[in-house]
Structure 1
Amino acid sequence: MKGARATAVELAALHVDRPDPASSLVRACRAALSRRCSVGLTLAADAALAQRVSLAAVGPLAGRGETLQINLGEGPCVQSLSRLAPVLAPDLDDTDVTGAWPVFAAQARADGIRAVFAIPVVGARPAVPQPGLVLSLYRDRPGDLPEADLRTARTHVLAAELLLLAAPVPGEDSAADAWLLPTDAVVHQATGMISYRHALTTGQALALLRSHAHLRGTDLTDLAHAIVHRGLRLPDPPPPDPAGP
């Protein structure tokens, strides 16, 4: 019986020459699952998903689930990347599971997502933070993920890691765009503008951007686009309390 790594190598070889290898692999993962799930794949530079690329979203729930986690900076994908361990949430009504990300859970339920399973590439934690891959499965009904499907997801995220390592350097080949160029670069531009205008750190600027996106009920990328391209200015944040906490 072949091990997961050997199977992942074979999977990567099947998809490496496809025009969009990430989406091709994610579609294959979805087809291989015994229980129907939508599947998302995220490449993130940090556990807060402040810098990320959404590589693929296949199925009716994946796009919204991926966007919610990026907009809110919380969710099972964020927690999985932070812990470098799978996060399995078979029922988003279970507050014992969703306590670390209640806003995501509430909004995901409103969008018809009832269960989420986030599986990262698991290895030794590096001394210097490195980009991480997380494959997320979204279901429209509660229920545990069968062990066979968990193995399938792990194998496909390993294959995604191999495909990423094989990707050409940006500028050498347009195929690199699907893997390495951020689709939401406007978010980083907006964060930089907010940081400059309000004399904030980039972390504080991103938090301010997220809070206003939440208050306005809009996606983070849409708000960032308005700031960068339409001259929108956010109100100044309240000054810190001199008395402290």
Structure 2
Amino acid sequence: MTASRKAAVELAALHVDRPDPSSSLVHSCRAELRYVCSVGLTLAVDAALAQRVSLAAEGPLARRGEALQINLGEGPCVEALKERRTVLVPDLDDPYPTVGWPVYAQQARAHGIRAAFALCALLEPDHSGPQPGLVMSVYRDRPGPLPHKDLETVRAHVHAADILLLAVPRPGENTAADAWFLHSDAVVHQATGMISYRHHVTAGQALALLRAHAHACQTDVRDLAHTVVHEGLHLPPLPPPDPTNP
């Protein structure tokens, strides 16, 4: 067993019996970092984050950093999953590393996020097709790289989360699984399913419709999803593009 794998296994053993293992791991990771950072943990089953759950977020920047990726469908976590690699952006003012997610970078900066790092637990570049994966994201309020030791700390914690996630049954079978899966982002998936049924569109198209209306209303996707699910809001379909106005 490698040193990094051993560290992940030991971390998993420490947190396996906690009431909320994901939040416990995120808290532990943030406490061990040398630099002051905010930390988020995301579970997603595809690169577009159409089925994405923010498992935990700790620190003043993490919730906003995670929410922006849900609202926009872009960001360092999306890129980490899509390309199955670690994404390190020590300066969000640098346009080169953020070329694939310029809107996220702009809005993240507006909320005080100056650097973002996403480490993926599942890195299988030779495997084709959508893959589930856990990503631990680190947000800083100032530009600059993370020290190697901090990166290793994040890597150990995201791999520990992966070990714990594999150890629990499917959601609904016991409280351990529910502790991982029953989170506020679930309402987004419920709303997506309802919109898909009402408008006879795919889940991806329904999520795009939800995001578009949230953007137009300048509200959070989760808040709009809650209104759709719990208050019966029916979203009108988006108008088709005007061919005379490309």
Query: Which category of TM-score, normalised to the shorter sequence, fits these structures?
Result: over 0.9
Q: How does 1:165-244 map to 2 (within 5 A)?
A: 165-239=166-240
Residue in 2 aligned with 1:38?
38
Counterpart-to-counterpart distance in 2, 1:185 and 1:15:
23
Q: Which runs of 5+ in 2 are unaligned?
A: none
TM-score by length of 1: 0.92
Alignment pair present for 1:144 and 2:106: no
The residue type equivalent to 1:131 in the other structure is P
TM-score, normalising length from structure 2? Answer: 0.92
Aligned equivalent of 1:135 = 136
Aligned match of 1:94:
94
C-alpha distance 180-130 of structure 1, shift in aligned 2 (>3 A): farther
Structure 1 residue aligned with 2:69: 69
Distance in 1, matches of 2:241 and 2:111, equals: 36
Paired with 1:76 and 1:31, the residues of 2 have a C-alpha distance of 22
Secondary structure of 2:234 counterpart: coil
Any unmatched runs of 5+ in structure 1?
A: none
**How many Å separate the matches in 2 of 1:160 and 1:204?**
31
Alpha-carbon distance between aligned partners in 2 of 1:186 and 1:7, rounded to the nearest angstrom:
35
8 Å CA contact retained: 2:88, 2:118: yes
Count of residue pairs the alignment pairs up:
244
Asked whether the equivalents of residues 116 and 140 of structure 2 are also in contact (C-alpha less than 8 Å), the reply is: yes
Q: Deviations over 1:28-58 (max 9, x none)?
A: 1111111111000001111111112211101
What RMSD in Å do the two structures reach over aligned CA positions?
A: 2.0
Q: Secondary structure of the equivalent of 2:119?
A: strand
Instruction: Report the CA distance between 1:232 and its aligned residue.
Output: 2.0
Encode CA deviations 1:54-84: one digit per residue, 9 max, x unaligned.
Answer: 1110111111111111111000001001111
SS in 1 for 2:96: helix
